[in-house]
Chain A
Amino acid sequence: MINVDVAIVGGGPAGLAAAIECRNSGCENILILERDKILGGILNQCIHAGFGLSFYKEELTGPEFAQRQINELKGTGIKVMTDTMVLSVSQEKVITACSVEGLVEIQAKAIILAMGCRERTRGMLRISGTRPSGIYTAGTAQRLVNVEGYMPGKEVVILGSGDIGLIMARRMTLEGAHVQGVYEIMPKSNGLKRNIVQCLDDFGIPLHLNTTAIEIHGKERVIGVTVARVNQNLQPIEGTEEFIPCDTVLLSVGLIPENELSLGCGIVMDPKTRGPKDYGAFATSVPGIFACGNAHHVYDLVDNVAKDAIKVGRTASEFVRGEVSE
């Protein structure tokens, strides 16, 4: 059993910012548990610029933002375990984690949950049709292109206009694929304005609002998607169906807090954010367990993730020192 003051689950922007603040506000025995081989979380695959404008007061790429945070760890004595997956978190604040070394138990005085989020999938959207290859969430496609160096396909349809979808429209275009268009069921995009301008408009990629996919075609590989315009109740309007040929469908239809551990711990969840219910200052229903970043609720900007995570780091330190009871 390892004993620590604060254990942080997840070494992405939220976890790193929280850890550093814990140290700055006086905690000494701090441990970050990260499932990937490196720190930085999802920022590592976000190689576009636009991060850090308010937090670091300059424009950075995702990996640059992460590296700033990693550099800030140096000399702080904060312990890091990478390639380590947390299997469970108990109400007594015991963490069970797993790595190639085996299983390890960690008793913490406070725990900060910073696991990030995951993408909504085709299954959740319940799009009709076949189940061929070539359907990816935008984030998975981003990892394939930016980290693994492979292209999901050549002729692309993007469903949903979340920021990752918009960014991938540009990314796929720059890599030589052809993006047919972005199809959004709502009357407006939920992506940032700057992404619509810089990722779609600048590349002549059409954004089709009030339009949704009603069927996916193809037995082995995707061969196309039928889209249709929708009415005010978001129901497809008959007669507006159009077949769009493509070999790849990217989904950018929303993010959900990663909540396996929160649920497993019996933390009360908020049905609206789908993250842990906030009992004030990012506290969860379990005293001494806090949540931050996208694991708490889904953010638009990493700068805001980091800013809020600092507050969480401070509260967790106060809890360890006994200044906050619940």
Chain B
Amino acid sequence: MNLLDKNNKDTVESIAGTIFLVLGIVNIAFVLLICIYLIIAGLPAIGKIGIIDFLFGTKWASTAAEPKFGILPFILTSIYGTAGAIVIGLPLGFFSALYLAKIASHKVRITVEPLIDLLAGIPSVVYGFIGMLVLVPAIRSIFDLPDGASLFAAIIVLAVMILPSIIKVSITALEAVPEEYELGSLALGANEIETYCRVVVPAAKSGIAAAVVLGVGRAIGEAMAVMMVAGNAANMPSLFESVRFLTTAVASEMSYSSGLQREALFSIALVLFVFIMLINAVLNVLLKRGGVKRK
């Protein structure tokens, strides 16, 4: 090999090294870009409205002659909706995961798991569409309401949507428990179910907690499906009334907003972003503790 070739090769190598470094750092830039844009776009309106009036005002009337920008209804709706989805989705997902991870035969598992994957992959608008056509009329006729589009419908749709992530993360957590724990418990005379519920589940609890937090993150960030079933009126949350979430508040008015109203929508997005960052921080701690990989 002559010297020229060697030099050429070195140049290529150092260029490659630099390019990969840049590609790695680009990701940090993306996060910063999102943070900075949200803060720049979101802070002015909070300043103009006043942070207390904005966060704790109970009335949202952005297009009224004397506009009011209180987002407490949206915050509470998002919290109630997410909590409701967890209350329904967690037991369903947890017991399903326990069954799939421990009791199901190999054959059952390889048939059901792709179905769960499919559930995870179905686009959110499809959930919203089915919810709109099946769930909303059903709720209207069962509970005898003027309109079925309500917080309750949104909770059920969200519960279905977070089900696959709860199931999958829980399965990973349950399978990460060392087999010796199970064998020890069985040898001490506990039967299988007692072993699973009193030994395996407590050992996997941070992984399962991570599944819950992941579900919370999904539910609080979901926009389209909720927009199609929740009715979108800016009421204070009530189970059978039309409500608006943080996400849908942004999505539903963005296309025709202007001026302070538009700025306020960005402020809502900023609030949502802060929620998500908090949830992510909790999730990271739990995932590290549970030794479970995020899927």
- Asked if chains A and B come from one complex, the reply is no
- Residues of chain B touching chain A, judged by Cβ–Cβ distance below 8 Å, are none
